[in-house]
């Protein structure tokens, strides 16, 4: 047998194509990064100094024409409460829908109809959910006019399909062999789901839920129609509340520079809240997996 | 539901037998504490079994008797229906969408396909070990073995003891006793498979089905599992699917040869390999096809 005498040459054209393709993919990635970095840079540059003004986190907007316009305390409290309630509504229901689709509905006609509607709901503009709640609950005077909890309901409608879709994908990733192992031990289906499927999927379910929460936190339109606008601090979900997105929306159109600056501070706060939530959730999930 | 007389009688027998056998545990310390009396296992009788995947008729009328406290091996080429047959015995077959089975499978006198029979009760009596080791990834070694008891809602005062006994029974105790709280997926493939057998044994079934339990293992781990099968048959009736004919020859008392959903021949392992009656069996075991 003769020895291998060199490998076939790679044509220059192939080399060139390879280089061009690699370079263009890199350029595309960089282009995608530009707006992201600019947003973070701008929000930090304009907002960070606001954080250190006296009373930014400890006072409410006061409506004075002169002097300190006040901070964003009521907006932070309102956003946290409204989003918390929306989370409590949408995540259990969303995960339940996904469990039904993956564990029971599978490819049945009904399950496919549900899937289709979830997809449609994901694409519905958020203002439509706001209008819907406005007409049904606000104009209908269910428990008062504009209230915080109606904002939560509108946000949960928005978050529900996101949670359900993300959870379905994650639950499908749980290997069937684990379900079979549990079933073959004689476990009833509900225990297979609660003791094996859900714990295995937990980190992914958490990520999907966070995505929905982050999305809900930044929504303005559904809140304008349901919570309306307030400036005073209230912890009462049954009253009109202030929220970060609505505060930003109002402040940014103000002729006063101090108030426009407050909008940037509020925007940075919103970004920071989402970031903190992400970090906390990740720490919690890591700890629970160790245990 | 399984007729309550049957199950309650069996469990009371088991607990009665559990006492004295623990005292005699010294002779065979690994297995006798499991609470099932030696040499009194239960036979599996498969009769006129037909199984379908949607329109596909994959098992075409199989009648097979698996004697108590013996190892019955199912051999045959891929697609011959070996796995489907064992999955029909503990009614796991019907978990696949569109799959169904007809005919009867009896555990002694108890028809597991009788109307009103609770499938979870059937599976508690007939445990199963799968081709690929599948420990629960979120659970520790201890929790994996305890999973069968917890998942079936069995309240056991001596859970720790039962877990330890099951780990001893599969020869894993020495390897894992100092790291019971570590995740089960941290073990090697062979250890994982024995962990899965321990999980099955901990529920104290009457029959253990094994669907190619060694096909994902290296030869050393395979040997350990085979030795384990040999010990387990003192307590359990075992039905094992294998595509490894040497394995069937090593572990099985009787061997059944399946081809295209039909049972060609079922005889003592020795006869199947040295003196097969059917020409197709002979061609298969001598490696002429399949």
Q: How far apart are CA B256 and CA A199, in angstroms?
A: 40
Residue A153 has pLDDT above 80, yes or no: yes
pLDDT at residue B6, rounded to an integer: 41
Closest CA to B34 of B145, B108, B122: B145
Closest CA to A212 of A114, A57, A43, A97: A97
Facing residues of B265 across strands?
A: B257
pLDDT digits (tens, 9 = 90+) for B261-289: 999 999 999 999 999 999 999 999 888 77
Candidate from A223-227, A251-255, A286-290, B45-49 with smallest mean pLDDT? A286-290
Q: How far apart are CA B289 and CA B287, in angstroms?
A: 5
Enter the pTM of the model. Answer: 0.80
pLDDT at residue A244, rounded to an integer: 92
Contact predicate A132/A154, CB 8 Å: yes
Cβ of B91: how many Cβ atoms within 10 Å?
Answer: 20
| Cα B22 to chain centroid, rounded | 24
- The answer to whether the Cβ–Cβ distance between B136 and A184 falls below 8 Å is no
pLDDT at residue A1, rounded to an integer: 56
Which residue ranges form the domains of chain A, and what is each CATH number? 77-242 (1.10.3720.10)
Closest CB from A106, A186, A191 relative to B123: A186
- 3-class secondary structure, B111: strand
What length does chain B have? 290
Its ipTM equals 0.81
pLDDT at residue B4, rounded to an integer: 43
Residue B13 has pLDDT above 80, yes or no: no
- Using a CB-CB cut-off of 8 Å, the residues of chain A touching B147 are 182, 185, 195-196
Residue B8 has pLDDT above 70, yes or no: no
- The answer to whether the Cβ–Cβ distance between A191 and B153 falls below 8 Å is yes
Average pLDDT, chain A: 89
- Using a CB-CB cut-off of 8 Å, the residues of chain A touching B95 are 180, 183
Position with higher pLDDT, A285 vs A137: A137
Residue A105 has pLDDT above 70, yes or no: yes
Residue A272 has pLDDT above 50, yes or no: yes
Residues of chain B with pLDDT > 70, as a percent, come to: 86
Average pLDDT, chain B: 84
Sorted by sequence, the CB contacts under 8 Å of residue A102 that are 6+ apart come out as A168, A171, A172
Tokens of B132: 């690929």
pLDDT at residue B290, rounded to an integer: 55
Position with higher pLDDT, B88 vs A280: B88
In 3-state terms, chain B is what percent helix, strand and coil (to 5)?
40, 25, 35
- Using a CB-CB cut-off of 8 Å, the residues of chain B touching A202 are 138
Q: How far apart are CA A231 and CA A62, in angstroms?
A: 7
Residue A171 has pLDDT above 50, yes or no: yes
Closest CA to B143 of B112, B93, B90, B186: B186
Contact predicate B103/B50, CB 8 Å: yes
Q: Output phi, psi for A42, to 5 deg.
A: -65, -45
Cβ of A54: how many Cβ atoms within 10 Å?
Answer: 8
- The answer to whether the Cβ–Cβ distance between B148 and A178 falls below 8 Å is no
To which H or E segment does residue B207 belong? Answer: strand B207-211
Q: What's the rounded mean pLDDT across residues A181-190?
A: 93
Contact predicate B262/B280, CB 8 Å: no
Long-range contacts of B182-186 (CB under 8 A, 24+ apart): B182/B140, B182/B141, B183/B137, B183/B139, B183/B140, B183/B141, B184/B135, B184/B136, B184/B137, B184/B139, B184/B140, B184/B141, B184/B143, B184/B144, B185/B135, B185/B137
pLDDT at residue B221, rounded to an integer: 86
- Using a CB-CB cut-off of 8 Å, the residues of chain B touching A106 are 97
Q: How far away is chain B from the Cα of A211, in angstroms, using its nearest Cα?
A: 23
When scoring A107, A112, A173, A181 by the number of chain B Cβ atoms within 10 A, the one with the most, hence best to mutate, is: A181
pLDDT at residue A5, rounded to an integer: 76
B51-to-A57, B65, B114 alpha-carbon distances in Å: 69, 17, 16
Residue B5 has pLDDT above 80, yes or no: no
Closest CB from A107, A177, A200 relative to B130: A177
pLDDT at residue A71, rounded to an integer: 86
pLDDT digits (tens, 9 = 90+) for B135-194: 999 999 999 999 988 998 887 788 999 999 999 988 899 999 999 999 999 999 999 999
Candidate from A111-125, B35-49, B115-129, B197-211 with smallest mean pLDDT? B35-49
Contact predicate B53/B97, CB 8 Å: no
Residue ranges of E strands in A15-149:
none
- The answer to whether the Cβ–Cβ distance between A184 and B127 falls below 8 Å is yes
Q: What CATH number was assigned to the domain covering residues B39-131+204-285?
A: 3.40.50.300
Closest CB from B120, B128, B137 relative to A200: B137
Crossing angle of helices A73-99 and A257-290, in 10° steps, is 40
Q: How far apart are CA A86 and CA B197, in angstroms?
A: 45
pLDDT digits (tens, 9 = 90+) for B64-84: 999 999 999 999 998 899 999
Band of pLDDT at residue B21, cut at 50, 70 and 90: very low
Q: Output phi, psi for B207, to 5 deg.
A: -130, 145
Sorted by sequence, the CB contacts under 8 Å of residue A190 that are 6+ apart come out as none
């Amino acid at each position: 047998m003769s020895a291998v005498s060199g490998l076939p040459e790679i044509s220059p054209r192939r080399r060139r194509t390879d280089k061009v393709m690699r370079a263009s993919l890199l350029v595309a990635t960089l282009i995608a990064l530009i707006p992201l970095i600019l947003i973070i840079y701008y929000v930090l540059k304009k907002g960070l100094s606001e954080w250190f003004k006296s009373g930014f986190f400890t006072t409410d907007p006061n409506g004075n024409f002169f002097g300190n316009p006040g901070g964003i305390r009521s907006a932070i409290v309102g956003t946290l409460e409204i989003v918390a309630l929306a989370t409590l509504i949408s995540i259990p229901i969303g995960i339940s829908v996904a469990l039904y689709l993956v564990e029971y509905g599978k490819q049945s006609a009904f399950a496919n109809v549900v899937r289709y509607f979830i997809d449609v709901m994901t694409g519905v503009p958020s203002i439509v959910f706001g209008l819907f709640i406005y007409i049904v609950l606000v104009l209908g005077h269910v428990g008062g006019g504009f209230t915080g909890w109606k904002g939560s309901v509108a946000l949960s409608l928005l978050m529900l399909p996101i949670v359900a879709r993300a959870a379905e994908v994650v639950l499908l990733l749980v290997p069937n062999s684990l379900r079979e192992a549990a079933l073959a031990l004689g476990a009833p289906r509900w225990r297979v789901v609660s003791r094996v499927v859900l714990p295995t999927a937990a980190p992914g379910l958490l990520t999907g839920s966070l995505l929905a929460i982050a999305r809900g936190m930044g929504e303005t339109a559904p809140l304008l129609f349901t919570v309306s606008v307030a400036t005073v601090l209230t912890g009462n979900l049954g009253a009109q509340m202030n929220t970060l997105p609505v505060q930003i929306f109002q402040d940014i159109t103000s002729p006063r520079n101090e108030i426009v600056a407050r909008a940037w501070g509020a925007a940075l706060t919103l970004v920071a809240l989402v970031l903190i939530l992400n970090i906390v959730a990740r720490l919690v999930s890591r700890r629970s997996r160790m245990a | 539901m399984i007729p309550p007389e049957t199950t309650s009688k069996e469990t009371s027998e088991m607990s009665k037998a559990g006492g004295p056998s623990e005292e005699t545990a010294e002779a065979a310390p690994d297995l006798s504490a499991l609470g099932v009396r030696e040499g009194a296992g239960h036979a599996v009788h498969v009769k006129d079994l037909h199984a379908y995947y949607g329109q596909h008729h994959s098992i075409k009328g199989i009648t097979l008797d698996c004697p108590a406290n013996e190892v019955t091996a199912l051999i045959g080429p891929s697609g011959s229906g070996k796995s489907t047959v064992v999955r029909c015995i503990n009614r796991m077959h019907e978990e696949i969408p569109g799959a169904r089975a007809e005919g009867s499978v009896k555990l002694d006198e108890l028809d597991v396909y009788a109307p009103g029979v609770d499938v979870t009760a059937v599976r508690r009596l007939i445990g199963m070990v799968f081709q690929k080791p599948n420990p629960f990834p979120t659970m520790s070694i201890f929790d994996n073995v305890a999973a069968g008891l917890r998942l079936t809602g069995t309240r056991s005062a001596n859970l720790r003891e039962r877990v330890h006994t099951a780990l001893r029974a599969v020869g894993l105790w020495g390897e894992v006793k100092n790291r019971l709280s570590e995740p089960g997926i941290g073990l090697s493939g062979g250890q994982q498979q024995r962990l899965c057998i321990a999980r099955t044994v901990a529920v104290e079934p009457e029959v253990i089905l094994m669907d190619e339990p060694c096909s994902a293992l290296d030869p050393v781990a395979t040997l350990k599992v085979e030795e384990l099968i040999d010990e387990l048959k003192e307590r359990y009736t075992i039905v094992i699917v294998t595509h490894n004919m040497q394995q069937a020859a090593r572990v099985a008392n009787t061997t059944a040869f399946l081809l295209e959903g039909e049972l060609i021949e079922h005889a003592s392992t020795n006869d199947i390999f040295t003196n097969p009656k059917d020409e197709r069996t002979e061609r298969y075991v001598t490696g002429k096809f399949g």
